[in-house]
Structure 1
Amino acid sequence: MKHTLSILAVAFLPLLSTAQEVTSDKQLVGLDFFAKIKAVSQIKTIGDDIFFVLRQANVKADSYSSDLYQLVDGKAVRLTNTGHFGNYEIIDDAIVTRKTEGKKTVFYKQTKSYGGPQEWLTIPYQVGQVKFVDDTHFFFTSSKKVEREPFPLPDSLKSQDADKRYRVFEDLPFWSNGRGDIQRHHTILYYSDNGKVTALTDSLAGVGSLELSKDARYLVYTDSREHGPKVFGNRLYAVDTKTLQARELIVGDSVRYGFPTFIDDENIFISIGKRNAENPQANSPYYRINVKTGESQYVYDNDFYAIGDGTASDVKSGGRSDILFEKQGIVFKTAKADYSVLVRLPHKGGGVKLLTPSDFNVDEYLPYKKGYLLVGAYGQDGQELFYFDGKNAPQRISDINTSLFASHHIAHPQEISYVNSDGLELRGFALPPIGYEPGKKYPAILDIHGGPRAAYGFGFFHEMQYWAAQGYAVIFANPHGSSSNGNAFANLKGKFGGPDYDDLMSFVDAAIGQTDFIDPERLGVTGGSYGGVMTNWIIGHTNRFRAAASQRSISNWISLSAISDIGYSFVDGYSGTDIWHDSDLLWKQSPLAYADKVRTPTLFIHSDEDYRTPLPEGLQMYSALRYHDIPARIVIFKGENHELSRSGRPQNRIRRLQEITRWFDKYLAQ
């Protein structure tokens, strides 16, 4: 009997793929196309004026540049020329930016009444979050490292670089992806009153998630002072900004509070998670809490339409939009199966209502005029700014990437529907080669996303479009474990390599059967992070793929649990155990256990500063394949981390894509 996930009940617009003629007036998507794209983020407004940040890779300089822009007559007008513009805020109709200088933070204001930014405020701390009550009263956080006991050396043995010759770990985790070696620190909440700074929490605090009520009467924050891999949960406090008295808000024991947002002057909307032994991947439900009385009320299960969910990309900067509280309901962005959509949760119940169309991906949103200002794109287009009146299709109001995309051949995906082993009706996509001839067979690459709690959408993905331009079909789907199909679908606890593997194999069969351009004898498989783990798993369980490229992967759950920055929690979440309670299960679900069965030539891509899936994970699988005389190659990128394919140095991103493509060329060309 077939079962259909309720999230697929709404009809999708058909995504049809037809042979695309290669013409001389358009270019093919090249290795460096990602560097021509401008990523749009941090949209904000002052009245009708629209501001945003553009970020772009510079291959020659091997770096990225970002600056603040204003939309003027549909064009992006640059307001800063720093090349490394960060976050900004709008306060009293002024653009406020900051710069950390040593142990102090300098804030700058820029308004229409004067030209460039003017120095406004200096705080003698390295400021984290800040919330302004007014120009002279504000709350802020600042972090302080826990100092280690000094290790004295005789003067004759001291040198200026002595501390760079060794690494000392005393905490768990001991390193963090993107940050390197870490030393435990505490984040303290401070209050500044006309320049007089007072600490509101003790030196052991771990303050975060500051939010100020609309009337600036209450400040809420979380405190994660308890530390360690076995600790679950944090604490929630509300501060009366007039008396500075703090009150703990308690909804339950051992709960995790996250993403507080003020609905009005006294009530917050907040996620509250509890340890879920049956489904550790489940989204946390949302509650309403009155900060004055402490009363709480359950509001939303956050299951199928998870607040803030989106789809994966390798060309976007990303930005978080605030939840909106309107008369008709709560408005937020979510991922619905395989696209990002703006939805409304009515106050009176009745289920989530989709606002934006199913062929449009929403990245950010803001209330604007009588509707919404959006960052997003239709189909395979590049990001632009749109005005959405809440009823009709979003209308593009900028030209940031449109001309670039119009000048290139862009492949469009064909929808692939399939039924998995559980009888669930799912869908994935097949991207045909540019200029393919109907009926002719082409090599195909199965591209598996990371996560696994993530999702591919039908939007633009550079690596896929590059492969399509090189004569490959690319197929991709969201198997069990992915987000955007509900909590039950995302649950892989103790089942890794089971339903997710079955889903992918069913999808590959369907893609071959529903297209006329895939050669079933020339299949490749690749993926990064979870996609790398699954690539390692696949080659140990089937020989249907003639080549594989495993990126930033995991090969051994036992070793990963002890060396990854999220090792213990991640392994427990997906296996439900640890080394000491069930090492047999961890080994059984480790791709390395099946390396002796691999016959697929495999390329491994890894980075030496990847602390999420550390380098030994790639080396173990590579060594095992070479030990068993299977063709293998490992490319290790120096100075890169887990984010190589998305935000690594541009020249390294190009080399990575070259390595993968050449590997597939070698084994799939004929």
Structure 2
Amino acid sequence: MTKKVEMTDLFQLQSVTDPQLSPDGNEAVFIKTHIDEKKNTYIANLYHVDLATKETTQWTYGIDRISLPKWSADGKQIAFLANREEKNQLYILSARGGEAKQMTSFAYGISNYRWAPCGKKIWFDAPVKEGKTFTDEEEKDDDNRPHSVRITNMNYKMDRIGLVPQDMFQQVGVIDVESGEVTQFTEGSFKYSLQAVSNDGKQLVIGVNRQENLDYAFHTPLLLVDVETKEETVIIDEDGHYGGACFSFDDNYIAFVGADRTFEIASHANLYVYDTKRGNRINVTECMDAPVGDHTVADHQQAANAPSVVWTKDNHLYFPLSTMGDVRLYFGTMEGELYPATPENEHIYGYDLTKDGATAIVAVSNATNPGELYVQTIATGERVALTSFNEQYVQEVELVEPEAIVFKGALDWDVHGWIMKPAGFEEGKKYPLVVNIHGGPHAMYGNTFFHEMQLFAAQGWGVLYVNPRGSHSYSQLFVDAVRGDYGGNDFKDIMAAVDYALSEYGWIDENRLGVTGGSYGGFMTNWIVSHTNRFKAAATQRSISNWISFFGVSDIGYYFTDWEHGADMTDVETLWKHSPLKYAKDVETPLLILHSEKDFRCPIEQAEQLYITLKSMGKETEFVRFPEADHNLPRTGIPNLRIERLTELTGWFKKYL
């Protein structure tokens, strides 16, 4: 007999990510993450799987977090990062077994790395203080006295990090594997990122912006750098975000992914190929009206790290594409041939391919599969499961299969989404319905496992979640349409979704409707309750209530408001017009306000303003604050706080629905 989904299922679910094939394609390593309830933390270990026998073996057993495993070119060693010393350091493990050797003890850890093809060196990038080296000890005040911090730039803080050190820069270096000797390769007060190492070991792709003031520098040029001479060739130097570079096997081409700023952060990312001989580049996906990359929001997978692009020996390319609510693996050629290599109705969140392109290892999730690894024959699409970490959970728990829906939104546009019946659904009964709105707004709900949605269904509620305009995976026009129109046609899309659900599903009790959402979804929840009384209860999470104050307090506020509203502090009327706080007097729906203390993306003052304003007007509202939590609490937050958040959400809707 199956049981219903519970909050504490977070401690049973296993996250299987980052599959990396060995150079000969016969074996792979990957990361499995679980939450340790007693230690109240995430534990991630390295696993190995033999593709022929399907035998899976755990290779590390620490209580730390392993990440970014990579094989050496000869397949004899695996490197990885681990936070065994609090900060991430680099380790090397023999493929034949034994203890991992620690390669770095950097003061501020290591960010990223790549093997040199000879297997004798490892390139990396890591933070270093100005005038110091990677290995200089971290400076600490012995008596823990507080000190003032001088701020001279606008981009001075970041969610999940806090204040960004003004004298800290990212540099590229190289480690001699045998001796452990570390050499710094780049220099100057700049932030470098290591992108790729050529297969002959003679060239690097490095990202760096050397402008003096980076407050409004929203691009990072990609440079092709000669290892011996340090001579630089510009691959791309344009406004927008570009990265994920990868050399073809013959080193004649460099593939990378990026988006220009035509539609600011709503711009579709494309796959580009740079010709190292001719110095020109092509846009491989120019004809596709969908973004390259994974834009799905969910709450289960931990540290999923899918490559931006993978080459095969015959210069074919594979890359993830967000399309129609799916994330699919696509095949491409430089001649413009493009087609999907994986089916619809699923989420590819990790992958790798053999050099000949015949076989892929894919990490796959769907609405009722938390995610496992499969080996797939590209020519036939045939798959065989390699892992089964969540198999018992799926068999023991009643998971509800969402039904895909399409309805007409504002301007008669098609809008896509999903509706879930309550777990244990009985024909003829009436049930509450909770609408759940995603953040972004330029993200998307997809065909992937979402614990929170399943938990809501387990409470005996229907669940409606849709991708209103502003969401990715449908078209450039669709994702851009929300900019300058927050609370306009996006609001109408969501209300149209409710109307559609009520007209098509007789089991929904129209008098017991709830609504919730986080980030942009929190903004929209605030907007909904200040513009309609259709909902009996609402819960707003990490929300935005006042775009005027958001401009100055958010880590992205000073440019995000201009990008999304076309307004800054010289046009406060526009910012106020789009602010739910302006309409607080019209709120009649009981509103639960949830917010993290260390949220720098949507700072907690947004919740404080809303709460005090509503309370002063005698509105029915409560405010729950989560200490030591940031904007990503629902996905990567401290485990006990994730449980408390879900407890608050379900408790509020139980009370009113």
Aligned partners of 1:554 and 1:104: how far apart in 2? 32
2:362 aligns with one of 354, 359, 374: 374
Query: Does residue 621 in structure 1 map to residue 601 in structure 2?
Result: no
2:438 aligns with one of 429, 449, 452: 449
1:580-595 aligned within 5 A: 580=570, 582-595=571-584
Aligned partners of 1:100 and 1:29: how far apart in 2? 32
Which region of structure 1 is more displaced relative to structure 2, 376-385 or 613-622? 376-385
Cα shift readout 1:234-291 (whole Å, capped 9, x = no counterpart) = 32221222x2332131655555432222234132123454432x55411244432233
**CA shift in 2, pair 1:496/1:451, >3 Å:** same
1:511 aligned partner: 501
1:26 aligned partner: 2
1:4 aligned partner: none
Structure 1, unpaired ranges of 5+? 1-24, 149-157
Query: Does residue 321 in structure 1 map to residue 307 in structure 2?
Result: yes
1:410 aligned partner: 399
8 Å contact from structure 1 (residues 209, 260) kept in 2: no
**CA shift in 2, pair 1:284/1:408, >3 Å:** closer
2:17 aligned partner: 41
Aligned partners of 2:484 and 2:276: how far apart in 1? 39
Query: Does residue 637 in structure 1 map to residue 637 in structure 2?
Result: no
Shift of 1:141: 2.5
1:527-606 aligned within 5 A: 527-580=517-570, 582-606=571-595
Which region of structure 1 is more displaced relative to structure 2, 409-418 or 230-239? 230-239
1:156-305 aligned within 5 A: 160-163=143-146, 168-184=150-166, 185-191=168-174, 198-226=183-211, 227-241=213-227, 243-249=228-234, 251=236, 254=239, 256-263=241-248, 264-271=250-257, 273-276=259-262, 280-301=265-286, 304-305=289-290
Shift of 1:519: 0.9
8 Å contact from structure 1 (residues 98, 108) kept in 2: yes
Aligned partners of 1:125 and 1:136: how far apart in 2? 24
Shift of 1:667: 1.1
Matched residue type, 1:139? W
Shift of 1:422: 1.9
Shift of 1:616: 0.3
Aligned partners of 2:369 and 2:377: how far apart in 1? 21
Which region of structure 1 is more displaced relative to structure 2, 391-400 or 531-540? 391-400
Aligned partners of 1:262 and 1:90: how far apart in 2? 16
Secondary structure of the 2:583 match is helix
2:297 aligned partner: 312
1:497 aligns with one of 483, 487, 509: 487
**CA shift in 2, pair 1:362/1:234, >3 Å:** closer
Cα shift readout 1:577-611 (whole Å, capped 9, x = no counterpart) = 2112x111111011111111111110011010111
Matched residue type, 2:111? G
Structure 2, unpaired ranges of 5+? 133-140
Secondary structure of the 2:207 match is strand
1:384 aligns with one of 365, 372, 376: 372
Matched residue type, 1:55? T
Matched residue type, 1:305? A
Aligned partners of 2:84 and 2:643: how far apart in 1? 34
8 Å contact from structure 2 (residues 273, 334) kept in 1: no
Which region of structure 1 is more displaced relative to structure 2, 328-337 or 203-212? 328-337
Aligned residues: 630
2:92 aligned partner: 109
Cα shift readout 1:33-90 (whole Å, capped 9, x = no counterpart) = 1221000112112342222111111223211111111236546432111121322221
**CA shift in 2, pair 1:375/1:275, >3 Å:** closer
Cα shift readout 1:107-156 (whole Å, capped 9, x = no counterpart) = 443224342324567779844333333344443333234599xxxxxxxx
**CA shift in 2, pair 1:308/1:538, >3 Å:** same
Aligned partners of 2:318 and 2:37: how far apart in 1? 39
Aligned partners of 2:638 and 2:291: how far apart in 1? 32
Secondary structure of the 2:422 match is coil
**CA shift in 2, pair 1:167/1:664, >3 Å:** farther
Shift of 1:169: 3.7
Secondary structure of the 1:140 match is strand
Aligned partners of 1:619 and 1:440: how far apart in 2? 40
1:425 aligns with one of 414, 417, 420: 414
Cα shift readout 1:322-345 (whole Å, capped 9, x = no counterpart) = 412344842211221212211223
1:3 aligned partner: none
2:113 aligned partner: 130
Cα shift readout 1:606-664 (whole Å, capped 9, x = no counterpart) = 01011110000111111121122111001000111111111112111111111111111
8 Å contact from structure 1 (residues 218, 266) kept in 2: no
1:60 aligned partner: 38
Query: Does residue 345 in structure 1 map to residue 332 in structure 2?
Result: yes
Shift of 1:487: 1.8
Shift of 1:437: 1.4
8 Å contact from structure 2 (residues 246, 309) kept in 1: yes
Aligned partners of 1:57 and 1:240: how far apart in 2? 44
Aligned partners of 2:456 and 2:651: how far apart in 1? 11
Cα shift readout 1:296-332 (whole Å, capped 9, x = no counterpart) = 3343338533221242211111222241234484221
Matched residue type, 1:365? Y
Secondary structure of the 1:382 match is strand
Aligned partners of 1:610 and 1:222: how far apart in 2? 28
**CA shift in 2, pair 1:125/1:530, >3 Å:** closer
Aligned partners of 1:100 and 1:527: how far apart in 2? 33
Cα shift readout 1:426-460 (whole Å, capped 9, x = no counterpart) = 32111111112112110110000111111112322
8 Å contact from structure 2 (residues 434, 515) kept in 1: yes
**TM-score normalised to structure 1 length:** 0.88
Which region of structure 1 is more displaced relative to structure 2, 101-110 or 523-532? 101-110
8 Å contact from structure 1 (residues 235, 248) kept in 2: no
8 Å contact from structure 1 (residues 75, 400) kept in 2: no
Shift of 1:192: 5.4
RMSD between superposed Cα atoms in Å: 2.7
Shift of 1:392: 3.1
Which region of structure 1 is more displaced relative to structure 2, 592-601 or 99-108? 99-108
8 Å contact from structure 2 (residues 256, 309) kept in 1: no
Aligned partners of 2:593 and 2:181: how far apart in 1? 55
1:142 aligned partner: 126
Matched residue type, 1:232? F
Aligned partners of 2:283 and 2:507: how far apart in 1? 51
Aligned partners of 2:572 and 2:58: how far apart in 1? 56
Aligned partners of 2:333 and 2:273: how far apart in 1? 15
1:362 aligned partner: 348
Cα shift readout 1:158-194 (whole Å, capped 9, x = no counterpart) = 9812226x55544323321111222122222334577
Aligned partners of 2:320 and 2:377: how far apart in 1? 16
Aligned partners of 1:85 and 1:174: how far apart in 2? 28
8 Å contact from structure 2 (residues 268, 476) kept in 1: yes
Aligned partners of 1:611 and 1:216: how far apart in 2? 40
Cα shift readout 1:84-104 (whole Å, capped 9, x = no counterpart) = 132222113111235579899
Determine what percentage of the aligned residue pairs are the same residue: 29
Secondary structure of the 1:365 match is strand
Cα shift readout 1:473-515 (whole Å, capped 9, x = no counterpart) = 1100000111111221111221111121111111111111121
Higher RCO (Cα < 8 Å, 6 or more apart)? 1
**TM-score normalised to structure 2 length:** 0.90
1:473 aligned partner: 462
